[in-house]
């Protein structure tokens, strides 16, 4: 049996690095930065039943993220269980807001994660997306005039269009 990190500082560092992994996933999805997104996974990640590797994962994310518009993934509870110094599992609660065509959807998502540390860095091995619910909102918050903050506090903001990766994603050919 492989032991857990025996030092409290090593355990805290593992928890923090894994937590940042989940946070960077949310930002990479929302900004459509596919290079940053796939770099969070082990290089030989399994994609579906018969494909492996970050190139296959990038292609899969490209297809799925082109099927929706703006996303906002807001992470909440993140329970991490260290198995040993290089392996862990986790549960991440996420409130997603998603533009699906003209509809604005609220989702409560549960990610069931498997993590592995390779060459001193934590990665996703597997991320299973489960849904508690998805519900259409009565109004699309993007259907407003610009906020022009700080002049007006309500209205449409500048994100995600302010991310260079967002524009690059949508201007690239699938």
Q: What is the pTM of this model?
A: 0.92
Of the pLDDT bands very low, low, confident and very high (cuts 50, 70, 90), residue 6 is low
Q: What is the mean pLDDT of residues 6-29?
A: 94
Q: What CA–CA distance (Å, rounded) separates 55 from 43?
A: 9
Of the pLDDT bands very low, low, confident and very high (cuts 50, 70, 90), residue 1 is very low
Q: What CA–CA distance (Å, rounded) separates 27 from 39?
A: 13
Name the nearest CA neighbour of 29 among 64, 78, 81: 64
Angle (nearest 5°) at CA 26 between 106 and 167: 95
24 has a pLDDT exceeding 80: yes
More confident residue, 103 or 3: 103
Angle (nearest 5°) at CA 158 between 152 and 159: 130
Give the pLDDT confidence of 115-173 residue by residue, as tens digits.
Answer: 999 999 999 999 999 999 999 999 999 998 998 878 888 888 889 999 999 999 999 87
Question: Do residues 110 and 130 lie in contact, with contact meaning Cβ atoms separated by under 8 Å?
Answer: yes
Domains of the chain and any CATH numbers: 8-162 (3.10.450.50)
Count CB neighbours of 129 within 10 A: 12
Give the pLDDT confidence of 38-66 residue by residue, as tens digits.
Answer: 999 999 999 989 899 999 999 999 999 99
Question: Do residues 138 and 8 lie in contact, with contact meaning Cβ atoms separated by under 8 Å?
Answer: no
Give the pLDDT confidence of 77-116 residue by residue, as tens digits.
Answer: 999 999 999 999 999 999 999 999 999 999 999 999 999 9
């Amino acid at each position: 049996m492989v032991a857990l990190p025996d030092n409290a500082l090593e355990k805290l560092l593992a928890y923090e690095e894994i937590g940042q992994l989940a946070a960077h996933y949310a930002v990479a999805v929302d900004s459509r930065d596919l290079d940053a997104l796939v770099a969070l996974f082990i290089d030989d990640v399994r994609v579906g039943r018969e494909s492996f590797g970050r190139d296959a994962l990038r292609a899969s994310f490209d297809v799925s993220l082109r099927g929706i518009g703006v996303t906002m993934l807001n992470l909440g509870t993140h329970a991490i269980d260290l198995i040993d110094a290089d392996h862990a599992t986790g549960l991440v609660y996420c409130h997603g807001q998603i533009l699906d065509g003209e509809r604005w959807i609220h989702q409560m998502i549960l990610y069931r994660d498997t993590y592995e540390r390779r060459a001193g860095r934590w990665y996703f091995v597997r991320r299973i997306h489960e849904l508690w619910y998805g519900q259409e909102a009565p109004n699309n918050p993007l259907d407003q005039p610009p906020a022009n903050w700080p002049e007006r506090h309500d209205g449409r903001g500048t994100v995600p269009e302010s991310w260079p990766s967002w524009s690059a994603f949508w201007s690239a050919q699938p």
